[in-house]
């Protein structure tokens, strides 16, 4: 019997889900977090790691 290993959700996926549930655009959230919309997009897609301050 084998147990299927599941990977935990990525931070970016969780951030995107959180943002979408609150009906915020990337621009709205990036303005609130004082980061660029591009950086936020990169975090959501896993191309950049979020800082502790962002989280």
List, for residues 1-55, the tens digit of each pLDDT value: 565 668 888 999 999 999 999 999 999 999 999 999 999 999 999 999 998 888 8
Nearest C-alpha neighbor of 19 from the set 38, 44, 36: 44
Note the pTM of the prediction, 2 decimals: 0.81
pLDDT for position 7? 82
pLDDT for position 34? 95
By the 8 A CB rule, do 33 and 40 touch? Answer: yes
Residues 6+ apart with CB under 8 A from 7: none
pLDDT for position 43? 97
């Amino acid at each position: 019997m084998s147990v299927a290993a599941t990977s935990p959700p990525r931070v970016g996926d969780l951030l995107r889900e959180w943002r979408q549930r609150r009906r915020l655009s990337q621009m709205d959230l990036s303005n609130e977090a004082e980061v660029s919309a591009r950086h936020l997009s990169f975090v959501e897609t896993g191309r950049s790691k979020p800082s502790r301050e962002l989280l």
